[in-house]
Amino acid sequence: MAPLAREVIISKDEHDPHEICEPPAAGGDDETPRERDNGVAASAPVPWLEPGDRGRIASWLATIRMALVAPGQLIRGVAASSRFEVAFGFAVATTVAIYLISLVPAAALIALWWVLTGGVETNTRFLALGGFMAILAVPAAFIGNTREIKGRLEGAYTKKFGSIDGLHERIDETLMSVPLPFKPGEYQAGDTTGRIVVAELFTGSECAPCVASDLAFDGLIARFDRGTVAILEYHLHIPGPDPLTNREVVERAEYYDTHATPTVFVDGIRSGRGGGGVSRASRNFNTHKESIESRLLEPPSVGLSSLLLTREEDLLTFSGEVDLPDGSEVPLENARVRLMLLEETVHYTGRNGIHFHRFVVRKILSPPDGLDLRNASGETTFSASVSLSDLSAGLEQYLDEFQEEYRERRSDFEWIEKLHEVDAGQLVAVAFVQDDESKEILQAAFAR
């Protein structure tokens, strides 16, 4: 059976203030593992009740954060002598804020409709405003996989144009016009060592703190070509069900003992910690960029060559060679070759508002333990195949099994989009050699 999605909380890492999504404490109380491990005082004051040097807005935000991170701590921090009027003021302020925020998707949806149908073309001021709101509206229109809001947009567009043909292309065009919140630049290789670095991101379309890492990886894709850096993005059911998850991706997370998103590895080595919102994207990008560029200076100890990704009717085959230098002293007792099949771009908007998902791992073509290199010498060939129909059927079966099991937790759960169909024209492949003891990736290669 498919594993259940983890219920999660938004937490803080004491050593890195970026937010992450992680499972709840095993003990079942409201404190996070980090609170217990880091000795956070259970009786810390509630900011709204004891603002100190904070202003009212800062106190309100800090209290909201405490409610999300450590509700048990918040409950214990409220003294019996606390004034009713102060606590009631917090409730009123929060209710009004939530009500105002709830109006944004509706207003933004109207603005998007005006832009798509040409309703504001006669007024440049409204066009500029409508375009800005449209950028906000698209994630809002699909946030949380809300069938009703999405249906309204498609229904209105169909009423105007007779079908939804062209709607999603216009949405994509609008989103693609939004620049990254930082300038990734272009990598200047200089004297190359021949190494291709693997950057792996464990993320989730329901994970709000994953936005920073997703955008950071978009920057890495723009900065490095695929002959320099191979990108792998794994989707997990953290904090909620994600239709881009599959069984082999879950196993890959277990291989790294990864239970939180976002989590990044560069050549099998952990890079940075945590994520956050758009404002954190630049910092995350710079962290991973430095890890990658440092790694690119190290010559690879093994080689990969002759990679081919071929298709004959329904059958897709990925093949190549591992090259071991003569007299190589590289220990291969724990080395394995792993073959990944990726979909270059998937269009889907989950709760965090990210619409374009890049280099999504759809299947691991090699065996779960990889291809053994213990007795390899010279040139060792490898090959793995999968039919596209079997690939889609396997993804659908996993999602169906997950849905049935998740209904034990939420009886009304149903996938809005299952995303088990793959676009054959978007499929690419990555091969890499990894040491299973150290987790270090020795070399990689990319095939289109």
pLDDT at residue 401 in the model: 97
The secondary structure of residue 196, as a DSSP letter, is: -
Among candidates 231, 293, 250, 252, which has minimal Cα distance to 448? 231
pLDDT at residue 104 in the model: 66
Whole-model pTM over 0.75: no
pLDDT at residue 85 in the model: 62
Q: Is the dihedral of CA 81, 85, 86, 87 positive or negative?
A: positive
Q: What is the CATH number of domain 197-447?
A: 2.60.40.10
Q: What residue ranges of the chain are covered by domains with CATH 2.60.40.10? A: 197-447
Contacts of 341 (CB under 8 A, 6+ apart): 316, 318, 361, 362, 363, 364, 365, 386, 391, 427, 428, 429
Per-position pLDDT tens, the chain of length 448: 444 333 333 333 433 434 677 654 444 433 333 333 333 333 456 777 777 666 777 777 877 776 765 655 566 555 555 566 666 677 777 777 777 776 766 666 666 666 555 554 444 444 444 444 444 444 444 444 456 667 777 888 888 888 888 888 888 888 788 889 999 999 988 778 999 999 999 999 999 899 999 999 999 999 999 999 999 999 999 999 999 999 999 999 999 999 999 999 999 999 987 788 888 999 999 999 999 999 999 999 899 999 999 999 999 999 999 988 766 667 778 899 999 999 999 999 888 889 999 999 999 998 878 888 877 777 889 999 999 999 999 999 999 999 999 999 889 999 988 999 999 999 999 999 999 999 999 999 999 9
